[in-house]
């Protein structure tokens, strides 16, 4: 089961970059080959370790963006201008370069592909990454579990996976995708704009019953705000799983 603790230490593995895909001007998807990768569940993350020549070493956690696919793994990295790791990964790290990582990690913010309950996925900024893994896994697994994505981002230029989201929207009656632009909506936009509020949630979230599972990921302030809106809409805390990342970066 997804929520049972998985025993055993994790070994560091050496991944190599097979392909880099620019998603926006500041975000890049790294397609990695990871010999020995044991597979993962959507929502899980990896720890990445960079070590300098002088031995200085630093670690970061990154959500997995891809569904399970053998030794292939995709991470989408948002470059933070004052970051220590993300500028290297998005600008210098090139095809064939090695990268130390370990995983999969996490037993909480995880969608179980065998689960048939409806899920509501709400992402702010690059918080959409683990949610995308859930959507992609649902499709790859042929699951009919109803899934709705509400994706809040600043403007069209910050939208991750734009082409894929466009293709998926309207593809399948049990998968719905809505984008909310918080700063600048594209010309002629008929969807919602501005910060996600109670009215936006009630318009986009669909029926929220006691069986709906909610996954909320994004910057801390976004996650706290959305969790409060969900509770106010009658969802219980036990139905909500959250994942927060730090200040800066691509806000909601």
Binding site for other proteins (CB under 8 A): 1, 3-10, 45, 47, 59-61, 80, 82-86, 102-103, 105-109, 220, 237, 241-249
Residue 4 or 96 with smaller CB distance to other proteins: 4
Least distance (Å) from other proteins to the CB of residue 152?
A: 18
Nearer to other proteins, 187 or 247 (CB): 247
Is 7 or 36 the residue whose CB approaches other proteins more closely? Answer: 7
Work out the number of other CB atoms within 10 angstroms of the CB of residue 42: 29
Q: How far is the CB of 27 from other proteins (least distance, A)?
A: 14
Q: Rounded to an integer, what distance in angstroms lies between the CA atom of residue 166 and that of residue 175?
A: 12
| Whole-number Cα distances in Å, 6 to 1, 67, 107, 197 | 10, 19, 8, 37
Smallest distance, other proteins to C-beta of residue 86, A: 7
Nearer Cβ to other proteins (79/192): 79
Give the residue with the Cβ less far from other proteins, 22 or 220: 220
DSSP letter at 92 equals I
- DSSP one-letter code for 139: H
**Cβ at position 237, least distance to other proteins in Å:** 8
Minimum distance from residue 136 beta carbon to other proteins (Å): 20
Nearest CA to 192 out of 145, 132, 122, 240 is that of: 122
Pairing of the two strands 57-63 and 147-153:
unpaired
Q: Which 3 state secondary structure label does DSSP give 209?
A: coil
């Amino acid at each position: 089961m997804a929520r049972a603790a998985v025993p055993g230490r994790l070994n560091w593995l050496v991944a190599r970059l097979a392909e880099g895909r620019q998603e926006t001007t500041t975000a890049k998807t790294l397609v990695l080959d990871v010999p020995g990768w044991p597979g993962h569940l959507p929502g899980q993350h990896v720890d990445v370790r960079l070590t300098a020549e002088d031995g200085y070493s630093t670690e970061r956690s990154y959500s997995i963006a891809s569904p399970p696919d053998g030794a292939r793994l995709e991470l989408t990295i948002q470059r933070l201008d004052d970051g220590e790791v993300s500028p290297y990964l998005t600008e210098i790290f090139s095809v064939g370069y090695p990268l130390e990582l370990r995983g999969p990690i996490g037993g909480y913010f995880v969608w179980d592909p065998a689960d048939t309950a409806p899920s509501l996925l709400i992402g702010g900024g690059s918080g959409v990454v683990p949610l995308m893994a859930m959507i992609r896994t649902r499709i790859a697994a042929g699951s009919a579990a109803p899934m709705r994505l509400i994706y809040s981002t600043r403007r069209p230029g910050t939208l991750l996976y734009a082409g894929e989201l466009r293709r998926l929207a309207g593809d399948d009656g049990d998968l719905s995708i809505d984008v909310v632009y918080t700063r600048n909506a594209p010309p002629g936009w008929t969807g919602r704009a501005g910060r996600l509020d109670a009215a936006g949630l009630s318009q986009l979230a669909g029926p929220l019953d006691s069986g709906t599972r909610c996954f909320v990921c994004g910057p801390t302030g976004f996650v706290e705000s959305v969790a409060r809106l969900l509770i106010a809409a009658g969802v219980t805390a036990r139905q909500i799983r959250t994942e927060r990342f730090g200040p800066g970066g691509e806000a909601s």
